[in-house]
Amino acid sequence: AQAQDAAEPLTYMPEETYPLDPVQEPRCPPPPYPKNLLMSGAAGEPGVLEGAGAPDPSNPATRSTHNGSGGSGKAEDGQQVKEKTKVSKGEKTVKDKKQIQTSPVPVRKNGRNEEKRESRIKSYSPFAFKFYMEQHIENVMKTYQQKLNRRLQLEQEMSKAGLSEAEQEQMRKMLNQKESNYNRLRRAKMDKSMFVKIKTLGIGAFGEVCLTRKVDTCALYAMKTLRKKDVLNRNQVAHVKAERDILAEADNEWVVRL
């Protein structure tokens, strides 16, 4: 029984034979030869090169035409490759130039322009600078001292009145606010357009004095207008500055304070 089973082939393993030779697959015919590569003599023979298959190598005529057209085709292909390489090199150089470009270099100005720019800055004498600094420091110290005096006067009045601590703190805040407003008014530059002329009070050697009213506060002021050209020509600059300082420091009911 065992021998019979061994002699019988297995049903799940079919016996198939595989050929060793490769199977030739059907191929499409090659495309026709391009007409632009054909020679002038062979252009009129469509049956030689434009057939479905390749040209017959046994025919010498077809062999010569094929060789000639192949040579010309190679030459034209070489020219096209050279042109492409030239174009590609040109494009590369253009791209390199675009990448190499940097920010523009600032142009240096001539010495004349620098001299003109320096000449715009006014130069003053050491005496004028000394006079300005003395006046400036004096005004700063005077303003600070006046501020301290007002604060001391407020403290004395509050101690006499017997105000509570909260009321005293409120009065100090009000004083600080008034000091801030006063400093802001002192820093503001006044212009002739901020006043309205009412009447001419008098005419002097260098200008006139007018009664004016301020537009925003409607307060009355006496405005003195001077012609600087006449002051400089008559050498009266020091006299005008002294008059200004006296009017600013005057504390008398008969003198109009500047």
pLDDT (0 to 100) of residue 151:
94
| Amino acid making up residue 141 | M
End-to-end CA distance of the chain, in Å? 146
| Residue positions counted in the chain | 258
Assigned domain for 40 exists: yes
Q: Which domain holds residue 63?
A: 23-88
Task: Encode pLDDT of 41-50 as tens digits.
Answer: 544 444 444 4
CB–CB of 164/175 below 8 Å?
A: no
224 labelled as ligand-binding? yes
With CA atoms as reference, report the closest residue to 53 among 81, 28, 22, 25.
28
CATH number at residue 219: 3.30.200.20
pLDDT (0 to 100) of residue 177:
94
Task: Encode pLDDT of 38-95 as tens digits.
Answer: 665 544 444 444 444 445 545 544 444 444 444 455 555 555 555 555 545 555 555 5
Assigned domain for 38 exists: yes
Assigned domain for 206 exists: yes
Instruction: Look up residue 35 and give its DSSP letter.
Output: G
Which residue would you say has higher pLDDT here, 252 or 142?
A: 142
Instruction: Identify whether residues 145 and 194 lie together within a single domain.
Output: no
Pairing of strands 195-203, 220-226: unpaired
Assigned domain for 31 exists: yes
Question: CA-CA distance, 173 to 175, in Å (whole number)?
Answer: 5
pLDDT (0 to 100) of residue 179:
94
